Structure 1
């Protein structure tokens, strides 16, 4: 072969190599572009559509509104404000959330720093002054309190934490153990890989890993746990791309929220904040050094260092990290010896509990699905709710304290409670809890638990009588004599009053106040079961139930949410306004959007609804809820107690000028609790109202209703005369009304002259 042929042959080989190299470069570039797109998608899913902030209603402050200083301080503290000693301190540090409660005024730093210090003056639980930097202010809207955060999508149960909220000590520990050169390398650290290889060879087994935090994050986000060369190459490529595209702090924040930290059944534990709650039942910022070290120790292998299955392994790794701190003089010998001498202290294995207010979050999720277009679901960033944080806090505190007192006092176990508070005008939900532990994400008793409502049905029966009987009024006499009837199967049913007594007849309003059974069975049967069922459907917005005579004593099952809906329609003079939680949403692209409340309709006659509410006020003044009268007599409360068959369910509905509150107490296994509605459920309402401060309930009679005198026999009188009481009477009905005749006062003969007493 000539030299020319050899050169041509070599040239062709170089061409082949060049073409192959070029092809490989193109393929590699394409593959890197593909990996980059997957990486961007993973980060977008991690950051944007997943975290949905659930906000309370914003508090609007203006002169004249009813708001106590205690309530404002509670709201400010929920927003993160801290107590300061002097007003001068506020002026010097306008960028901090500080407040001073001084005599009859509260001073606090404004969110808008240009407003300076806000001053709110009070007099008898009412705002009398509102100023910004000494100048009068018409109105001030506080930022809404964050109630909770929702993970929308597949990673529902996790706690997201911003990097600024992570304890500095934990970050230093993490970087020391997992990636000391994090802020210097470009995603892959050859020096760390070499150091790990040497350490592993010296130890004879794996004691160090060479992967950077960036590589670990790449593996968690996009790769499997299978060990192979291909996976390692992908990990390195993704790490380099991640470092090229994102800031170091963004990568670190993503790592802290995404890193795999263990397994709880089918649920993976991701992120330090979630792990802190799971293993220690504490938020991340409350962990001490020992607990932080334990979490960092688990990062290397959550299964290998599981604190419940392999506590000794976790203790070994914890001690290794402690020695690293000791060698760096970041830990004193005494503390090292004390910590290393004891086992890792984690809580007993528990159900994963991540939501602060699971009942609210569940209801918000459900309502968003019904009211938000699916095309906007991925854009949701925040949802503004109607929840009042003051009501919510009062309800949570009440549930925890009262249920323990009931169990201790009556020697009971396994009691459960569900409560919901609804704005008495708008139908907006102000507070709700579905468990004796308000932060426990178990069964949703507010919306899903269907339980017999007992005597809570009696106001509906009274309403039906007023609606469908032309001669019916609150003064009507109801039959209170023994009654019995046979079912289609031939079984005899004979209802009785609670006290086993019969009164012959009783005025309708008194029958409701004392919650007598027999008069309402007689009234219900005279009206008819079908009209009552239709009325019930109109009040609740649910399909009409098929009623049986026994249902007149409350065998009808409803959830606390449905009961609140029923009584909301009554309180609002017969107007059905669907209950709602979502007031607005914040979308990624479209900004804030107000969501109008669901539409309302008139479900029944307003005059009849007013009369029933008037009768419910007598339940507090002289009936089964009269225990409330001594504490809240000035509030003119309306209420109804309810107890189901065999004392399995205790109910209470209370209404003041602010809210309608529904309380259910019972057991999940449906065993009797041997307590009535007034003995159990009403105690929760009383405590809640004491914390929340009752507002007077002011019922305004419709034009068709007049207040008229009524005697003890139920006889209605016209005119102004001194009788036992005054009741609202529907002027459109042809009722038997007697004129009021004033009897002459007999003359006293002892004061007449003697001759007139003799001769006349």
Structure 2
């Protein structure tokens, strides 16, 4: 007879089995759905752009060549900024440098720009005082005629994450770095399916044995799943998701793919407020070199950081970092991944790192100017995510020299005249500098104000100021079709009636001569003589001539514009002067040279754009006259300030001393300096007193940009020996004061001196005798 209790138990068991089966079926279904969801999410994230890579702004490259003046200390500092590390012996690895009294030995690094791929080699740079005597390859002994150093990083365009990352391909990562990471984090990575129970047990045993956390239990795949897909909370559900994602990743991607993603993802510390992510960026941050140049010791240091980057950072505690590094080296040796000799050498290596630097935007006024242009080409999101390489015209040495010269010059003025001091930052004495390559328009340096943190207003590109006498070269240029540098102008006190009103220009300093040549009128910045010339040629001719030089601000039809009364933008004055140095060609200022994507493909390239402002002959004549400014005129103190090479330039001072200017140039470089208060308060100093010393300090700091050469006259320029009294051809033996002067061929004098020939001998000579002393002084005639 059937037992009722037995039947009841069987029915209960059957129902339980059905329930369990149903639950398992539901769990399996849920797992399938969950795995499917994870699979789609992984594919979506890995198939698209995996990271937001900030775009990097880079300086121009730097040229070195024998015979170049490039102070050794300055080059040493540059190599330091580029991350080259000093060693006591000869450099044996790329990125190392040894400095001696008369030479620098450096193992150059590889670098790629859109223009070239440069492979590093060991180089010896011999110095003779501050000049490079020779460049020689250490490995072959061959002379190097020209060398190009890699650009410096100036700025990054960050997104909201503020992560700095430099992607690496696993093929470019040295084996000993991979081994170090595996030894530190997951030695069985290539042998498990994404989770490693044996590894968890081994890590637990090791930690208990040593009484400290020496090994972790999570695999590399699990770490990647946690960092890339999940939030950091410590819950069972998050751990379950981590395990599931790890298994899915392992089923869909190869071990090499997972390892490469991991090496580019891991958090490796902080540079100020910026997160360092990935082994590529960490290599540069901690050691100033790419991953393929890391030694075993350095690779072990980086691998040791992964567990707790800020705790084990060599910048935080070198001893603790070294202890962690040695644990990684021991693990590499125990797995047979390095030899006994490699182990002994690596364990004894001192902890030598790059200099710690927080993130700081360099050349901030230049960067603002550049950013404005970039944002017309790319969205902020593109700049912060696409990892573009943005190549600029900036010269870091010129930029630093300009910043230092401006601060020094303004402080010097305030010390000499304490009434210029202001407590409120927005009211302080200001200044600005721009440095250009006149034949290309490349902006080498830009300082838009005294201190960017106090004022972001860029006085080079945004200010509208009266140029004063800095505008006069355009007046004299306008007269060149009819007049010459030898033309005599009146320096008499003359009132002019303009639209019923009297205009009576005054000179800033006494000029005793009643008449003066055009050359000396420009050299000494004589207002009365300039006004005389203006009235002779007419204001409209001046406006027409100046307009060809690209001024965007209106030039009113009033004679006082010849003395610089019309406001202009300082950048436009600098650009206009470039035409005098570039055979009359007007360059467009260039800050952005090229933009390349992550593959090195050029997306944007700025070509030189030149307009015709004037003829080569007229540009040369103005340059010749502006050289007289620095040799016999208002800027003649330039040599006393230590500038020994020839310079053409012009000072500028406005009414009531509200603005002080100097614009100077050579065939190689042009610099504009402006000093003043934003509100127009007088600074009580002229251009020669306020701006010229700053220019001098700048030029002395960048001798590599001044070859000492001078402009060659174009075919349409002739040299004539003239009588200084009549401006006609000198008659040998009769004219007592012959001088050399330059002319346009079509305007050169053809007639002999009328004063010292025939019946006209000495007739009417009196007006010209008054300028003899001045002319003699300029040309060095006794």
Please state which band the TM-score falls in when normalised by the shorter chain.
Answer: 0.5 to 0.7
Instruction: Provide the residue aligned with 1:725 in structure 2.
Output: 739
Moved more, 28-37 or 451-460: 28-37
The 3-state SS of whatever aligns with 2:650 is strand
Instruction: Provide the residue aligned with 1:204 in structure 2.
Output: none
CA distance in 2, matches of 1:138, 1:182: 45
Instruction: Provide the residue aligned with 1:475 in structure 2.
Output: 487
- 1:373-384 matched pairs, under 5 angstroms: 379=386, 381-384=388-391
2:58 aligned with 1:59: no
> Of 449, 452, 456, which residue of structure 2 is paired with 1:442?
456
Instruction: Provide the residue aligned with 2:393 in structure 1.
Output: 386
Instruction: Provide the residue aligned with 1:534 in structure 2.
Output: 544
2:104 aligned with 1:106: yes
| Structure 1 residue 146, shift from structure 2 partner | 1.2
For the 8 Å contact 2:494–2:504, the answer to whether it is kept is yes
CA RMSD of aligned residues (A): 5.3
Q: Deviations over 1:129-156 (max 9, x none)?
A: 332125223445343241412216x449
> Of 128, 139, 143, which residue of structure 2 is paired with 1:137?
143
For the 8 Å contact 1:625–1:678, the answer to whether it is kept is yes
> Of 135, 160, 167, which residue of structure 1 is paired with 2:164?
160
CA distance in 1, matches of 2:579, 2:588: 9
CA gap 1:649/1:10 in 2 versus in 1, 3 angstroms = same
For the 8 Å contact 1:214–1:242, the answer to whether it is kept is no
The 3-state SS of whatever aligns with 1:59 is strand
CA gap 1:416/1:39 in 2 versus in 1, 3 angstroms = farther
| Structure 1 residue 381, shift from structure 2 partner | 2.8
CA distance in 1, matches of 2:240, 2:489: 85
- 1:643-682 matched pairs, under 5 angstroms: 643-682=653-692
CA distance in 2, matches of 1:60, 1:106: 13
CA gap 1:722/1:707 in 2 versus in 1, 3 angstroms = farther
| Structure 1 residue 493, shift from structure 2 partner | 4.3
2:52 aligned with 1:46: yes
CA gap 1:399/1:443 in 2 versus in 1, 3 angstroms = same
> Of 126, 139, 142, which residue of structure 2 is paired with 1:121?
126
For the 8 Å contact 1:641–1:682, the answer to whether it is kept is yes
Instruction: Provide the residue aligned with 1:690 in structure 2.
Output: 700
> Of 40, 53, 76, which residue of structure 1 is paired with 2:79?
76
CA distance in 2, matches of 1:657, 1:147: 28
- 1:182-201 matched pairs, under 5 angstroms: none
Instruction: Provide the residue aligned with 2:171 in structure 1.
Output: none
| Structure 1 residue 491, shift from structure 2 partner | 6.1
Q: Deviations over 1:724-748 (max 9, x none)?
A: 532211121375742599899xxxx
Instruction: Provide the residue aligned with 1:410 in structure 2.
Output: 417
The 3-state SS of whatever aligns with 1:557 is coil
| Structure 1 residue 67, shift from structure 2 partner | 4.4
CA distance in 1, matches of 2:715, 2:378: 40
The 3-state SS of whatever aligns with 2:62 is coil
- 1:316-335 matched pairs, under 5 angstroms: none
Moved more, 564-573 or 520-529: 520-529
> Of 709, 713, 720, which residue of structure 2 is paired with 1:701?
713
2:610 aligned with 1:605: no
CA distance in 1, matches of 2:745, 2:659: 39
For the 8 Å contact 1:539–1:574, the answer to whether it is kept is no
| Structure 1 residue 100, shift from structure 2 partner | 2.6
| Structure 1 residue 428, shift from structure 2 partner | 1.8
CA distance in 2, matches of 1:740, 1:125: 54
For the 8 Å contact 2:94–2:120, the answer to whether it is kept is no
The 3-state SS of whatever aligns with 2:680 is coil
Instruction: Provide the residue aligned with 2:445 in structure 1.
Output: 431
For the 8 Å contact 1:616–1:640, the answer to whether it is kept is yes
Q: Deviations over 1:282-313 (max 9, x none)?
A: x999xxxxxxxxxxx9x9xxxxxxxxxxxxxx
The 3-state SS of whatever aligns with 1:717 is coil
Q: Deviations over 1:71-92 (max 9, x none)?
A: 544443443345555xxx115x
Q: Deviations over 1:256-290 (max 9, x none)?
A: 47xxx9xxxxxxx66489xxxxxxxxx999xxxxx
For the 8 Å contact 1:159–1:354, the answer to whether it is kept is no
Gaps of 5+ in 2: 1-6, 111-117, 169-183, 201-219, 251-257, 278-284, 288-307, 311-315, 324-357, 422-427, 759-782
CA distance in 2, matches of 1:501, 1:242: 90
For the 8 Å contact 2:433–2:460, the answer to whether it is kept is yes
Q: Deviations over 1:224-257 (max 9, x none)?
A: 99x9999989997999799986766544427747
CA distance in 2, matches of 1:517, 1:662: 22
CA distance in 1, matches of 2:551, 2:228: 46
Q: Deviations over 1:372-402 (max 9, x none)?
A: 8999967553223222232222222222322
CA distance in 2, matches of 1:543, 1:148: 32
CA distance in 2, matches of 1:718, 1:238: 100
The 3-state SS of whatever aligns with 1:531 is helix
CA distance in 1, matches of 2:230, 2:459: 40
Instruction: Provide the residue aligned with 1:97 in structure 2.
Output: 96
CA distance in 2, matches of 1:356, 1:366: 16
For the 8 Å contact 1:481–1:502, the answer to whether it is kept is no
2:462 aligned with 1:456: no
| Structure 1 residue 695, shift from structure 2 partner | 3.7
The 3-state SS of whatever aligns with 1:445 is coil
Q: Deviations over 1:610-645 (max 9, x none)?
A: 111111111111111111133457522111111222
For the 8 Å contact 2:630–2:648, the answer to whether it is kept is yes
CA distance in 2, matches of 1:503, 1:232: 92
Instruction: Provide the residue aligned with 1:146 in structure 2.
Output: 152
CA distance in 2, matches of 1:368, 1:238: 43
For the 8 Å contact 1:58–1:142, the answer to whether it is kept is yes
The 3-state SS of whatever aligns with 2:480 is helix
> Of 483, 504, 507, which residue of structure 1 is paired with 2:517?
507
The 3-state SS of whatever aligns with 2:640 is helix
| Structure 1 residue 358, shift from structure 2 partner | 0.9
CA distance in 1, matches of 2:395, 2:680: 32
Instruction: Provide the residue aligned with 2:371 in structure 1.
Output: 365
CA gap 1:235/1:365 in 2 versus in 1, 3 angstroms = farther
| Structure 1 residue 535, shift from structure 2 partner | 2.5
> Of 620, 628, 635, which residue of structure 1 is paired with 2:630?
620
Instruction: Provide the residue aligned with 2:591 in structure 1.
Output: 581
CA distance in 2, matches of 1:667, 1:238: 66
* TM-score with structure 1 setting the length: 0.67
| Structure 1 residue 646, shift from structure 2 partner | 2.2
* TM-score with structure 2 setting the length: 0.66
Q: Deviations over 1:563-598 (max 9, x none)?
A: 211110111121112121233333213436793532
CA gap 1:717/1:367 in 2 versus in 1, 3 angstroms = farther
- 1:291-310 matched pairs, under 5 angstroms: none
For the 8 Å contact 1:90–1:99, the answer to whether it is kept is yes
